[in-house]
Amino acid sequence: MPLTLIDLLHIPVMQQANVRTASSSLTSRSIETISVIELPVEDFIRKNELVLTTAIGCNDSGTLKEFVQDIIESEAVALAIATGRYIKVIPEEILQLAEQHHFPIIEIPWEIRFADITEAVLTEVHNWRQTKFQQFEELQKQLLHLFINGSPLSDAAAFIYQDSGIPIVIVNHEGVVKGKSKNSEHLVQPDLSDPSIIQYKIQSADRLFGYLLMSLDHETTNHTSNEKINMMSNIIATLTLWFQREHAVQEVEMRLRDDFVWSLAKGEIDSWDTVFSRAKSMGYNLALPYVCMIGAIENAEKLYENREKKTLETSYEQWLYSLINSVEEQISLAGNFLKRATMKTYQQERFIIFFEVSNLQVEHYVKQFLDCIESKLTQAVPGLVLSWGIGENHAGVKTFHESFIDARNALDIGSRQKGPGHRSTYSSTSFYRALLTLANNSEIQEITYLTIGSLIKYEEQRGLNLITTLKAYIQNQGNVSQTARALNLHRHTLLYRLKKIETLTNRSLVDTDDLFLLDLSLRLWSASIAR
């Protein structure tokens, strides 16, 4: 127990002391330190401090009353007044003031030296602190012993309760109970507005693992409460070890899962029997039909620069890691919500997902899934832009690699066609894929160059946007007025450019065959430079 006022009176040097007020509170008032104070009080007194004074300068009861009032308001534990020199008798109104505030005033003879009292009190306080430190060291050792032996957090909670008598509950960051002591049922779903319930964060660096909840008796003294609170705050580091170990195991499991899903995507399969066995050990069912989806974050750097509370963030890499975890969490939650199996990994700055579908309703289930993910992310990460590629053409059983290739092509081609923030299915890129196939043919490449090569050169040399003009003319189906409005050009200016295009290409813009060849050449040229 800490040194209380009742203990103080049993110290030999205090044998002649006389308690004048609030004698009933002596057992509940604990001394943390001691000082000698005279006028003025100001901010020289700490909470739970025993104050010694001769009351020098308090020549009248009004000054003494103000002096005592200041000490009471400073939350000192008690005031010991040496009488006989400056104060012969403590005035009755001073005693009444102290009694009203349940504040102890102790009268000591002038002959007792303050140095002797100070030495005795500091020795007792030091001895008590040494005892508490040794008890804490032993508690730490026992908790470490439990950790090393692989005991669960419930054993740690039970031991802390046995040692301190404090009911505690330990939960992870999602509120799942990981360990609890006896008499802690009220802490499982706590009322945090109750001042007797105290919550501590269990964390390491910037990672929050969970919370420790403890409950103090309403009858507990302030000093005892502080003592127990300090003890709990100091054992948090030891409890963190349990969460760090669990996190390390989870990290290994996640890495194994990532590597497994990545190997499916790459088609690294020696034996389906072996793959099915590995999948089963990880909780995956490969006998289901899956479709591959690939997602890419398009504006991570911009989001990082524009984020709120920049001073609370660390590096871009740490922030991005947290963002990736948030997206992966929503992927899992969406799969659970739709009651569909998912397998995911993050590789080469892309989310690779295999999602369970029905072969007859692939696009329907994919839309539901992505809508679910993006609706949550819109709230959690406002402004986040994601692009998706979907390999629906090879959705099915044991078609992981084929669906992955389709999804990757869909994402790459869709990004070129539509820009960031779109969803592209493999089938929607058919036309562009056909153009890419043609563009790889050497004879087609020669025809393309002979058809529009002169336009490209002229534009590079003169800076006149003839390519853009020709594209707009074709898109507006040869309507000069509509093309002029689309390009914001005067009609005569547009006619001059169109005439220039016919001259350079030696093709007629009113001849359907020539116009088709020009259109095809433009598309092939655009496809080739976008690769």
pLDDT digit string (tens) for 25-39?
999 899 999 999 998
Taking only the tens place, the pLDDT of each residue in 467-509 is 899 999 999 998 989 999 999 999 999 899 999 999 999 999 9
* Range 263-269 average pLDDT: 93
Buried b (16+ CB within 10 A) or exposed e, 276-286: eeebeeeebeb
Concatenate the DSSP letters of all residues of 245-309 into one string: HHHHHHHHHHHHHHHHHHHHHHT--S-HHHHHHHHHHTT--TTS-EEEEEEEES-HHHHHHH-S-
pLDDT at 221 over 50: no
Rounded Cα distance, 400 and 279, in Å: 13
CA-to-CA distance for 158 and 176, rounded, in angstroms? 17
State the Cα–Cα distance between residues 241 and 479, nearest whole angstrom. 74
Residue 208 has pLDDT above 80, yes or no: yes
Give 69's pLDDT tier (boundaries 50, 70, 90): very high
- Tell me: the pLDDT tens digits for 71-126? 999 999 999 999 999 999 999 999 999 999 999 999 999 999 999 999 999 999 99
Q: Which of 223, 212, 202, 149 is nearest to 181 (CA)?
A: 212
pLDDT in tens, 378-424: 888 899 999 999 999 999 999 999 999 999 999 988 888 788 999 99
Beta strands in 395-475 (DSSP E): 423-425
User: Pairing state of beta strands 350-356 and 386-390?
Assistant: unpaired
> Is pLDDT of 249 > 60?
yes
Three state DSSP letters for 305-373: HHCCCHHHCCCHHHHHHHHHHHHHHHHHHHHHHCCCCEEEEEECCEEEEEEECCCCCHHHHHHHHHHHH
In 3-state terms, what secondary structure has residue 110?
A: coil
Cα–Cα dist 180/189, whole Å: 12
Cβ neighbours of residue 287 under 8 Å, at least 6 residues apart?
Answer: 276, 397
* Position 272 confidence tier, pLDDT thresholds 50, 70, 90: very high
How many DSSP H helices and E strands does the chain contain? 18, 14
Report the pLDDT value the prediction gives residue 296, as an integer from 0 to 100.
95
How far apart are alpha carbons 420 and 495 in whole angstroms?
35
Cβ contacts of 416 within 8 Å, gap of 6 or more = 432, 530
Reading the block at residue 76, the tokens are: 């000192």
- 342-347/350-356 β-pairing: antiparallel
| pLDDT tens figures, 443-475 | 888 888 888 888 989 888 888 888 899 999 999
Query: Which of 132-136, 193-197, 344-348 shows the lowest per-residue confidence on average (mean pLDDT)?
Result: 193-197
Quick check: 68 pLDDT over 50?
A: yes
Distance CA 53, CA 87 (A): 10
C-alpha 258: how far from chain center? 22
- Rounded Cα distance between 68 and 84, Å, is 18
Return the pLDDT at 309.
Answer: 59
pLDDT at 311 > cutoff 50:
no
Average pLDDT over the chain, rounded to an integer = 89
Q: Which domains does the chain have, with CATH numbers?
A: 5-122 (3.40.1390.20), 150-241 (3.30.450), 267-431 (3.30.70), 440-530 (1.10.10.2840)
- Look-up: residue for tokens 């590079």? 460
Q: Between residues 204 and 245, which one has the greater pLDDT? A: 245
Q: Provide the 3-class DSSP secondary structure of residue 395.
A: coil
DSSP 30: B
Write the DSSP symbol of residue 194: S
Q: Residue 332: which residues within 8 A CB-CB, separation 6 or more?
A: 342, 344
* Res. 530: pLDDT tops 90: no
